[in-house]
Structure 1
Amino acid sequence: MDNLIALANEPATWMALFTLIVMEIVLGIDNLIFISILTNKLPEERRAKARSIGLGLALIFRLALLGTVAVIVQLVEPIITIFDQSFSWRDIILITGGLFLVWKATKEIHHNVEQNEAGPKSDNIVVASFTTIIGQILVLDLVFSIDSIITAVGMTDHIPIMVIAVITAVLVMLLAAGPLSRFIEANPTIVMLALGFLLMIGMTLIADGFGVHVPKGYIYAAMTFSAFIEGLNMLTRKRKKTK
């Protein structure tokens, strides 16, 4: 307890906490977009429950990983070398998760294109099962959680700061999940844009797993610019309808 009080009295602690909370929220955007797209395939009355379970699992994974910091450190140690390229458990997990994300985003893009070709009132709309959606969220929760916690461990040595930052970030994601899901559902073009984001994030995870690190700032700058352009398109369409 004395250590916690002493830690709270240090200005650097609050700065580290604020920085880490912002970082965790930014890193959680990928997870949130994926959960929003998947849960929108469920019946409306079950979407909120699926989002809560998905984000609850994300919180559990992150806190569990924080309790095993020694294991997290070992995850970045090389365990296998193929053609002079070393791979750690983290690399393998990122590559696997990236491949899954690319496959899932491609499949969803194909489904959306087919649905649009069939017409807006097509009866061929597939409603996914609750268990399937939760299973897919579970896989990506694990991948994003490992990436998130490794980032947190690299920013501070204090476990309480990491725990507070992780809990705060997941609570913010939980509050934003509902509005984001409704916004994506109400704007079909946003769905394709979000799937494009997931495709890019999946390729980034694969590249990171192979040792090619792409700064997150570039990725989020591209996402922000794309979202800005789409916002202008939405505004243009709205004004045309008004006229």
Structure 2
Amino acid sequence: MDALMTLAADPAVWIALVSLVAMEVVLGIDNLIFISIITNKLPAHQQEKARRIGIGLALVMRLALLGTVALIVRATAPVLEVFGHAFSWRDLILIAGGLFLVWKATKEIHHNVDPPAEGDMFDGKGATLGYGAAIVQILLLDLVFSVDSIITAVGMTPHVPIMVIAVLVAVTVMLLAANPLAEFIKRNPTVVMLALAFLMMIGMTLIAEGMGAHVPKGYIYAAMAFSVIVEGLNMLTRRAARRGGNPVKD
């Protein structure tokens, strides 16, 4: 308790907490967008349950990884050398996670551009994914984002209580935003394509960092914010055109 009081009295700790909470919320919303894309393929009565399971898994993974912070810090020691370039366990995890995200984004983009015929659907209610398959994909996505989240946290503060608070805040935001965000994505299909483009960009960033090329996250989030603003303007334009009776292609 004395250690916590000492931390609370340090202004630098509060600055680190605010910064880390903001970063964790952004990573959490990224995670949630892709959970929403996956669960929207399930039958309507399974979607909310799957989203809650996905968010619960995200919380469990983040807290479990926080318990292995010391191992994560040591995971930067080289364990493999290829063509003169040394790779640590952290690098290998980032590369594997990045490859998974790129594969997932590519597959989903193909599904959206060239959707299956109605007879090929999972069932007659428009579901295109089994419940078990959805949970497995959510589990893998949660693992990738949890590793990135905890590595980010370790890089921003050495204090585990600060990391725990930031993770709990981020997961709370995910819980509150889950259903509204899923409904928004369902009503605005162009947002799905934008989110998948973000997924591919994040995957490529993870691969680059795993290969030793540092990509400042500020650049990534600035590009994402600009894209969201442009898409928001497009949505407002389409809405205004519909109110005026002029058809606008999505």
- Bin for the TM-score computed over the shorter chain: over 0.9
What does residue 92 of structure 1 align with?
A: 92
- 2:248 aligns to what? none
What is the correspondence of 1:165-184 to structure 2 with a 5 Å cutoff? 165-184=166-185
Aligned to 1:185: 186
Q: Which amino acid aligns with 1:48?
A: E
Q: TM-score, with normalisation over the residues of structure 1?
A: 0.93
Residue pair 1:115, 1:124 contacting (<8 A) in 2 also = no
**Which amino acid letter does the alignment assign opposite residue 53 of structure 1?**
I
SS state at 2:79 partner: strand
Q: What is the SS of the residue equivalent to 1:183?
A: helix
Is this contact kept in 2: 1:33–1:194, CA < 8 A?
Answer: yes
CA distance in 1: counterparts of 2:193 and 2:151, whole angstroms: 30
| Superposed counterparts of 1:109-128, under 5 Å | 109-115=109-115, 122-126=118-122, 127-128=128-129
Residue correspondences, number: 239
CA RMSD of aligned residues (A): 1.6
* Higher deviation after alignment, 8-17 or 160-169: 8-17
The alpha-carbon deviation at position 224 of structure 1 amounts to: 1.2
Aligned to 2:56: 56
Which aligned pairs between 1:151-230 and structure 2 lie closer than 5 A? Answer: 151-230=152-231
- Measured after TM superposition, the shift of residue 240 of structure 1 is 1.5
TM-score (norm 2): 0.90
The answer to whether structure 1 residue 241 and structure 2 residue 219 are counterparts is: no
Structure 1 counterpart SS, 2:212: coil
Unmatched 5+ residue regions in structure 2? Answer: 123-127, 245-250
Partner of 1:106: 106
5+ long unaligned stretches in structure 1? none
Distance of 1:125 and 1:204 partners within structure 2: 33
- 1:218 partner letter: Y
The whole-number CA distance in structure 1 between the counterparts of 2:93 and 2:237 is 42
In structure 1, distance between residues paired with 2:7 and 2:236 = 48
Deviation at 1:197, TM superposition (A): 1.1
Q: Which residue in the other structure is 1:10 paired with?
A: 10
Q: What CA deviation, in whole Å up to 9, does each residue of 1:174-221 have, x standing for no partner?
A: 211211111111011111111111111111111111111211111111
For 1:50 and 1:145, how far apart are their aligned partners in 2?
18
Partners of 2:35 and 2:179 in 1: CA distance: 10
Output the CA distance in 1 between the equivalents of 2:97 and 2:16: 29
Aligned to 2:134: 133
Partners of 1:23 and 1:188 lie apart in 2 by 26
Counterpart amino acid of residue 225 in structure 1: F
Residues 7 and 13 of structure 1 are in contact (CA less than 8 Å); yes or no, is this contact kept in structure 2?
A: yes
